[in-house]
Copies of this chain bind each other. A is one copy, B any other.
Amino acid sequence: MDENKQQTEEVEQEEVVENPEQEVVEEEANEMDEVAKLQQEKDETYQRLLRLQADYDNFRRRTQKDRENDRKYKSQSLIEELLPALDNFERALQVEAQDEKYAEGMNMVYKQLKSALEKEGLEEIPAVGEEFDPHMHQAVMQVEDENYESNVVVEELQKGYKLNDRVIRPSMVKVNQ
């Protein structure tokens, strides 16, 4: 649209400029100058308007994208703070309790916590038995294990997590050579 308009205006301006050469009255020439000048100023203002409109549109689009992104990962900082507590919760639950009823209560609390986090988009990264993936797994050790194929995760030392599609903590793993 922008280009077409500019072409149209150029054609019009040429005609305005050519006109005075046909008639020799000076006053008329002055007025034609004024017309040309005004036309030019009007065009310039219009071009500024178009540029500003384009800037505005771009800003609006970018802002919307940024805000969608913000929303998608808004809980990341809190979840990152909570993961060590979640790790410890899991470790604490693995201790064999002499008080089964108490342990059962704690297990329910853990599940409730975990499910609130999952609802927000938290997901455990699969590890043991998976092919080693440097985007998901952090290899802290290489081992030789006949039970697994080469380059496969044989043990998980710390759980990894994704928030929606973003890895927020890779799994710490042992990988088969």
Contacts and interface: CB of A to CB of B under 8 A. Distances in A.
Interface of A: 1-2, 5, 8-9, 12, 15-16, 23-24, 28, 31-32, 34-35, 38-39, 41-42, 45-46, 48-49, 52-53, 55-56, 59-60, 63, 66-67, 70-71, 74-75, 77-79, 81-82, 84-85, 88-89, 92, 95, 97-99, 101-103, 105-106, 108-109, 112-113, 116-117, 119-120
Contacts of A56: 52, 55-56, 59
A75 to B, nearest CB: 4
A38 B42 contact: yes
Contact of A109 (B9, B48, B89): B89
A108 B85 CA distance: 9
Contacts of A81: 116, 119-120
Contacts of A85: 109, 112-113, 116
Contacts of A120: 77-78, 81
A79 B78 contact: yes
Contacts of A9: 5, 8
